[in-house]
Amino acid sequence: MTAKKKPKNAPSQEEITAFSELVRRVQLNDIQLLCAEVHGQREFVGAHGAVDGAIEVALNIESKGSLVETPPSIRCDVMIQWQGFSPGGQEPLVRVKETYLVCYGLSDNASVSQEMLKVFAENNATFNVWPFFRQSLHGTTLRMGLPAYSLPLLKPMAND
């Protein structure tokens, strides 16, 4: 399967510094699946059961974080959408979209800037959710009668 889009760009040095400062102060408390949506074109899924030839893959990741004052914590929403297309196709043959809530406790009441919160949500929260989405996508494609799809490791991409 070939990739249609890459997940995201690597963080800047400033983002890495902000991320490191915040990471020292947090602890992962919980990851919850908030919403899941699966769609397969009936003609494709029903007729193929196995994918003939290559399939192009598109991946979209959106993360946002919010600060909670009492108790000091961070909540992040992470949406990951995976789509499989026939080569050159415009309509997805299969789409899996999930949104997770990731909750972190903060060790102190020190302020967290909006920029630092953004960097944390886009990097740490996404990496924490990735194995959950990988497992879900693998099982979902298998239950649809398609070859089980295994997401690769999530790696920062070089800045363009």
85-143 residue pLDDT tens: 887 888 898 999 999 999 999 988 878 888 888 888 988 899 999 999 999 999 998 88
Residue 67 lies in a domain: yes
Residue 98 lies in a domain: yes
Residue 150 lies in a domain: no
Residue 102 lies in a domain: yes
- Structural domain for 95, as ranges: 2-143
End-to-end CA gap in the chain: 23
CA distances from 75 to 67, 68, 79, 112, 140 (A): 6, 7, 13, 13, 27
Least confident of 12-21, 32-41, 75-84: 12-21
Token pair 């080569």 is found at 87
The predicted pLDDT at position 157 comes to 56
Residue 130 lies in a domain: yes
**What one-letter code names the amino acid at 86?**
S
Number of domains into which the chain is organized: 1
Q: What is the CATH number of the domain that holds 24?
A: 3.10.420.10
Residue 149 lies in a domain: no
For residues 124 and 68, the answer to whether their CB atoms sit within 8 Å is no
Residue 158 lies in a domain: no
Q: 81 pLDDT exceeds 60?
A: yes
